[in-house]
Amino acid sequence: MNDKVSALLNDQINKEFYSAYLYLDMANFYARKGLDGFANWYEIQAKEEQDHAMLMYQYLHNNGEEVTFETIAKPDKTFETLMDPLKAGLEHEKYVTSLINTIYAAAQEVNDFRTTQFLDWFIKEQGEEEKNSSDLITRMELFGDDARSLYMLNSELAGRAYSAPSLVL
């Protein structure tokens, strides 16, 4: 595997674990506000980010590459309103999309077709992540100011169940 591609994937593993920390911080914010459904939504997001990191970890190992873990930074966002974590989540997903695109471009540049094929799943996943985040913001804008509607949205989010990714390495 190309050294640059390997390094970018390794760095992404650490960034995926940071994403999990960030989403747990968001879950913590909502839990303190008494919105267990929103907290559940972000707890599941955190699990998904951990899964993404582990998929990349396994991919590197499967290709004879070493993985180096770096210090995971403490999330630095401050949330004041119920909308703040939602907007920060969408912003973060767009950032992660840009990182995945950078890795893909680097793999494509050196004709690393195996890695581009591996990353195809992540590119599709990022499209879904951005849409889910954007849809949640739209729904919060529509219903968030009304206590009953917020309660119903919170209840719906509480019903979200975790599902592990099905990516064959």
Q: What is the pLDDT along the chain (169 residues), one digit of tens a residue?
A: 999 999 999 999 999 999 999 999 999 999 999 999 999 999 999 999 999 999 999 999 999 999 999 999 999 889 999 999 999 999 999 999 999 999 999 999 999 999 999 999 999 999 999 999 999 999 999 987 888 999 999 999 999 888 877 665 5
Structure token digits, residue 145: 């100011």
Assess if residue 31 is contained within a domain: yes
pLDDT at residue 102, rounded to an integer: 98
**How far from 98 is each of 41, 84, 92, 134, 167, CA to CA, in Å?**
23, 21, 10, 17, 21
> What count of other Cβ atoms lies within 10 Å of the Cβ of residue 62?
11
d(C-alpha 60, C-alpha 55), whole Å: 9
pLDDT at residue 162, rounded to an integer: 85
Assess if residue 20 is contained within a domain: yes
Structure token digits, residue 159: 């019903």
Which pTM was predicted?
0.92
Assess if residue 12 is contained within a domain: yes
Assess if residue 74 is contained within a domain: no
d(C-alpha 95, C-alpha 100), whole Å: 9
List the domain range (segments joined by +) for residue 148.
Answer: 3-68+79-158
3-class state of residue 91 by DSSP: helix
3-class state of residue 156 by DSSP: helix
Assess if residue 118 is contained within a domain: yes
d(C-alpha 42, C-alpha 88), whole Å: 12
Count of structural domains, the chain: 1
Assess if residue 137 is contained within a domain: yes
- Which CATH number covers residue 9? 1.20.1260.10
Assess if residue 40 is contained within a domain: yes
Assess if residue 102 is contained within a domain: yes
